[in-house]
Amino acid sequence: MNKIKVMINGIPGNVAIIMAKHAIYDDRFYLIPYSLTGPEITETEHIVGSSTVKLISPSDRDLMINEIKEREGEFISIDYTHPTAVNDNSDFYCRNSLPFVMGTTGGDRELLHNTVISSNIPAVIAPNMAKQIVGFQAMMEYAADTFPGLFNGYTLEINESHQKGKADTSGTAKAMVQYFNKMGLSYEEKQIKKERDPEIQKTKWGVPDEHLGGHAWHTYTITSADNNAKFAFTHNINGRDIYSRGTLDAVIFLEKKIKESEKGAVFSMIDVMKG
């Protein structure tokens, strides 16, 4: 079986490094030894397992990409960079005909989708690559569409905890807001309570020491006006392996779409799971 070539962008970020390790040790994939990185990164290469990955700064990427394409042939880009780079990176991928899987949250999501739709490449874009959590979201979407107004008169509280280095509010939490509001609640994204303090995460939340640097704990609590009824939905993820597995499934799905000559198409993790 021919291996799928992947270029993982965002190294030396933690998620990108974990993704690269999964790609290295998974026989279905070949890791291209290059990675787009941020302007603040001073190192020029990074060791991942047995591979040396050359880091490419934004100022060099336009010069380097043609050389990489000539050397490696066709490949799929995996983006785990920074929220501030989402739209710039997607524009770069589309301009250079580089199909991609975008796991990075943030940015202007409408512009992101429109950029791909106007291009000649397909992409998988999702704020969460964990299939089980995406499945949970799909269940809530079904409930929202099937039982509108179910929680009229109730109040909602959303608490999410992620590692200190996560810059933005959880994309998963933001996505859940729309489903709960369809069910009769009135809640704005800015009300989401996000925790980034490791000491509070450890002492008040109970996040294990070894996962303070990488976790995603979410609780959605719905309470009746008289406080006599309460519903809570919780998903606590330690580490990042669950996202890596989902991302690689997305790559396999996207490879099929490329072979089917899909162009200007944006796919979600729901599409990946159904496919």
Nearest to 103 by CA among 238, 227, 10: 10
Task: Say which residue the tokens 């939340």 belong to.
Answer: 205
Q: Which DSSP state fits 74? A: S
Torsion over CA: 253, 257, 263, 264 (sign): negative
State the catalytic residue, choosing from 82, 166, 211, 218.
166
Q: Could you confirm whether 235 is annotated as catalytic? A: no
Exactly one of 46, 82, 162, 218 is catalytic; which is it? 162
Strand 45-48 with 76-79, pairing: unpaired
What is the SS3 assignment for 261?
A: coil
In DSSP notation, 96-122 reads: TT--EEE----S-HHHHHHHHHTSS-E
Active site residue 166: yes
Q: In this structure, what token pair is assigned to residue 269?
A: 């993790």
Q: Which neighbouring-strand residues pair with 217?
A: 161, 236
- Burial code (b: 16+ CB inside 10 Å, e: under 16) for 153-190 equals ebebebbbbbbeebeebbbbbbbbbebbbbbbbebeee
Active centre residues (catalytic)? 162, 166
